[in-house]
Amino acid sequence: MSHVVLNRYIKAYNGEIVQIVQSRNIDEVLAGQVAGLEWLDSVSHLLEHYGESRTDAISGVIIDDA
């Protein structure tokens, strides 16, 4: 994950873990998705499922011109 500028984990009051990742650009994010999904598949047995999904993704792109 050499493209990652910031990687933080937050534990919510309800016990859920939130990961916040910041990358330099969207191309690096897209390029890392395959490796990320492969890793997620490898730990899937450790995760609680949300219906049919193993995660409850809340994602978005923030573009900072600063």
Rounded-to-5 percentages of helix, strand, coil across the chain: 30, 25, 45
Distances in Å between the Cα of 7 and the Cα atoms of 4, 14, 23, 46 are 7, 21, 9, 21
pLDDT along the chain (66 residues), means of 10: 79 85 81 82 83 68 61
Instruction: State pTM to two decimals.
Output: 0.53
CA dist., res. 17 & res. 52, Å (int)? 19
CA dist., res. 55 & res. 46, Å (int)? 11
Domain ranges (residues) in the chain: 4-46
Q: What are the backbone dihedrals phi and psi of residue 60, each rounded to the nearest 5 degrees, phi first?
A: -175, 165
